[in-house]
Amino acid sequence: MVAGYLLFSCKQQTAAPEKIIAQNLLQQIDDFARTKDKLQFAIEQGASNEELQKLFLNTRLAYKKIEWATEYFSPVVSRFVNGPPVEEVEVNAQVLAPAGLQVMETYLYPLYDSTKKKELIAELKGLDVACEQYRSYLNNIALLNWQVFDATKLEMFRIITLGITGFDNALSQNSMRECVASLQSMKTVLNYYIGDKDTEQIGEKIDDAINYLKQHTDFNTFDRATFITQYANPISAGINDLKVRMNMPVITYNRLLNQDAGTLFDTDAYNVNAYIPDQSYYITKEKIALGKKLFADPMLSGTGTRSCQSCHQPEKAFTDGLVKNTAINSDKPLRRNTPTLLNAALQAAQFYDLRVNTLEEQSISVVQNPDEMHGSLHKAIKLLWKDEKYRKLFSAAFPKAGRSNIDTSEVMNAIGSYIRSLTTLNSRFDTYMRGNRTAMNETEIRGFNLFMGKAKCGTCHYMPLFNGTLPPRYMRMETEVIGVPAGANDNTLDSDMGRYNIIRVASLKHSFKIPTLRNAARTAPYMHNGAFATLEQVVDFYNKGGGAGLDMHIENQTLPFDKLNLSKKECDELVAFLKTLDSQ
């Protein structure tokens, strides 16, 4: 049993580990700045393409050594150090220009674009500002031991969800070396807390993972399934166990990924109450029972003929199987395809255009939409109050003295609670990742490795939720412009402008939510407009490079234009893997 905080692998130290770690971080930030300066000097001196790329890779490796801390303690600053190379638009319509290492990569790969010398140097100077902000934080804010453990565990999760996919080095594809740098830094940090044979096993597990990465450096052939199950999961679980054994006081947050999760695949790793307005909206069995009944009741519609369940049918994985359903009491098609509600609670925003943030807002939007249900919650609550069964259900779900009516927020929260109960992370894929190696066959495992590597699916549909909520903090829901055609055999761009209708920023034209791929085999047809009838068609579309690959002119397409060059066999393996994501 670990007896306290000050147990170390070598000799007893006098300083608290978190203070030593903070000092080491300051030195590593200086190292990052010096490495960056070498690249800047080489650019100014007109160095060769080969030399510049080498220095750039060294700069990225220097950043990876501090990433576990910078992403945890200064995520806003880190957005401008290693953020995406595309314009980002915040919910408040603030536009964030691309900045940092990923932008630099586009200037240096596949060959150095000397016309971008001025821009490249400006990006490097921007890193100086970030380093100063990092230093300021560490000099003014004391690190806490539990935060160190939280941050290093999240870095392990970042490695397996983003690092090994090439998420932030799409052109250089130096993923394995960068993951090694991150792991080596993590080991140095955790060594300050290691004090007996059991805890020393964490260091050994990290060494094993590092050796595996060093021995398997090819991006396209790297066996991600093996790395995650045999190396990464034991490390994150070990970090979590050590924190528990050290009995550290921990401040807990209401975030999507539970802080006590040992791996991303634990049965209780995710918190369905993460994206709620406040604690009064927490899910309860009474709310679920009420919400289930309301979900199936046409009383909420204006005509008394349509319920939520009319379009989100349980037997069809809470979709309707149609390209587009029709407006209530009409043959006019609705604007968009009906998405599944399974695992909808694991998204930071709802609808294809992300126009609302909570399931409560989603429910009232649908009920009161003139084409969908054409209802009025104010009228509905009066009808519900007249029903004795509903009065009892509401009183049980929302107990309060002297109840004389039903509040519209209670209806919304009950339906939202029911949808939160539809969280099902129990597929064959989950079983495999939890240690059952017979749960997936070799074809499906190859498909997973393609998904996370060569096919680049995992850089948008983030494992293990396979939606666009960015791990491991799960604070931001992403959209993409992929150039969806009007139909499977139609090479014209669908006219729906997507998120641009909500926020009038040019980069958001034809931009849509990245939906979950869980239960994809059961939720055809696909895309916001139901353009594709089969998974094979979807994979073929991406293999060709999205809309641009179909010769559409889409200036703001965020999906890489280049073809994936997947063989027929590889496409079939991808589809086979996707079928393992069906809930059991």
Q: What is the pLDDT of residues 192-243, one digit of tens each?
A: 987 766 567 899 999 999 999 999 999 999 999 999 999 999 999 999 999 9
pLDDT of residue 10: 42
Distance CA 583, CA 577 (A): 13
- Least Cα distance to 429 among 418, 421, 437 occurs for 437
pLDDT > 70: percent of the chain: 97
Q: Return the H-helix or E-strand segment holding 383.
A: helix 377-386
Q: What is the pLDDT of residues 268-298, one digit of tens each?
A: 999 999 999 899 999 999 999 999 999 999 9
Distance CA 563, CA 90 (A): 30
pLDDT of residue 201: 86
Q: What is the pLDDT of residues 354-402, one digit of tens each?
A: 999 999 999 999 999 999 999 999 999 999 999 999 999 999 999 999 8
Q: Are the CB atoms for 418 and 288 separated by under 8 Å? A: yes
Q: What is the CATH number of domain 279-420?
A: 1.10.760.10
pLDDT of residue 570: 98
pLDDT of residue 200: 77
Which residue ranges make up each domain of the chain?
A: 17-245, 279-420, 429-581
Q: Which amino acid is at 236?
A: S
Q: What is the pLDDT of residues 406-461, one digit of tens each?
A: 999 999 999 999 999 999 999 999 999 999 999 999 999 999 999 999 999 999 99
pLDDT of residue 199: 65
- Least Cα distance to 189 among 28, 16, 71, 17 occurs for 17
Confidence of residue 14 (pLDDT cuts 50, 70, 90): low
pLDDT of residue 91: 72
**Does the structure show a pLDDT above 70 at 13?**
no
What is the architecture of the domain spanning 17-245?
Up-down Bundle (1.20)
- Report CA-CA distances (Å) from 496 to 337, 369, 546: 12, 18, 16
pLDDT of residue 562: 86
pTM greater than the 0.75 cutoff = yes
pLDDT of residue 196: 62
Distance CA 433, CA 233 (A): 9
37-60: average pLDDT: 98
What rounded mean pLDDT belongs to the chain? Answer: 94
Topology alike, domains 17-245 and 429-581: no
234-258: average pLDDT: 91
CA atoms within 13 A on the CB side of 226: 10
pLDDT of residue 197: 66
**Does the structure show a pLDDT above 70 at 12?**
no
- Report CA-CA distances (Å) from 488 to 121, 223, 541, 551, 556: 44, 33, 9, 14, 21
Distance CA 560, CA 83 (A): 17
Which regions of 435-517 does DSSP assign to beta strands (E)? 479-480, 485-487, 490-493, 512-513
pLDDT of residue 4: 43
- Which residues, 6+ apart, have CB-to-CB distance to 204 below 8 Å? none
**Does the structure show a pLDDT above 60 at 7?**
no
SS3 493: strand
Confidence of residue 89 (pLDDT cuts 50, 70, 90): confident
pLDDT of residue 5: 42
Q: Which CATH superfamily is domain 429-581 in?
A: Cytochrome c-like domain (1.10.760.10)
pLDDT of residue 3: 40
